[in-house]
Amino acid sequence: MKDKILKWNDVLNFANNGNPAPDRRVEKKDEEWRQQLTEEEFYITRKKGTEARFSGEHCSRYEPGKYGCVCCDNELFDSGEKFDSGTGWPSFTLPIKENAIKYHKDGSFGMIRIEVMCNVCDSHLGHVFQDGPQPSGLRYCINSVSMKKID
């Protein structure tokens, strides 16, 4: 994402006041998603699950390229924004473009976090935190299972 560097206040603004419009929409019923996805992909992306720490194939991969949504192929992140956060999940400082990601306040597990979803198909990706490196200060903590390497 070269045109604007998102900051924590931008993320909160989207979560509180509405997200940017996606370039397109993909909507399917659960039965259709179940036919397309593995059981684990369905659980994580459609039911808001989480993979085990350090278990994902993208956790320690840093080859050049882009990562897309496993459900709809929406481009999400560029490998140039990926960093080793030590958390056990792939981490990125910025999405590939502002409207690639949808933000939602998540009050599960007795805490308030900001959930990140694919803005095209609403698949659960992970969460964003304000403890990432500069210049954004953001850490998009993403489930490997919710993404696929697209180039």
Q: List the chain domain ranges.
A: 8-149
- 72: nearest Cα among 124, 126, 2: 124
Gap between the Cα atoms of 113 and 97, Å rounded: 21
- 103: nearest Cα among 16, 27, 21, 5: 16
Residues serving a catalytic function are 141
The pLDDT assigned to 1 comes to: 43
Beta-bridge partners for 67: 77, 149
What proportion of the chain, given as a percentage, has pLDDT over 70?
A: 97
Q: Does the pLDDT of residue 116 top 70, yes or no?
A: yes
**Residue showing tokens 């080793």:** 84
In CATH, what class is 8-149? mainly beta
Mean pLDDT along residues 133-144: 96
Pairing of strands 147-149, 75-78: unpaired
Structure tokens at 40: 């684990």
The pLDDT assigned to 13 comes to: 94
pLDDT digits (tens, 9 = 90+) for 17-36: 999 999 999 999 999 999 99
> pTM of the predicted model, to two decimals?
0.93
Gap between the Cα atoms of 68 and 71, Å rounded: 9
Mean pLDDT along residues 71-80: 97
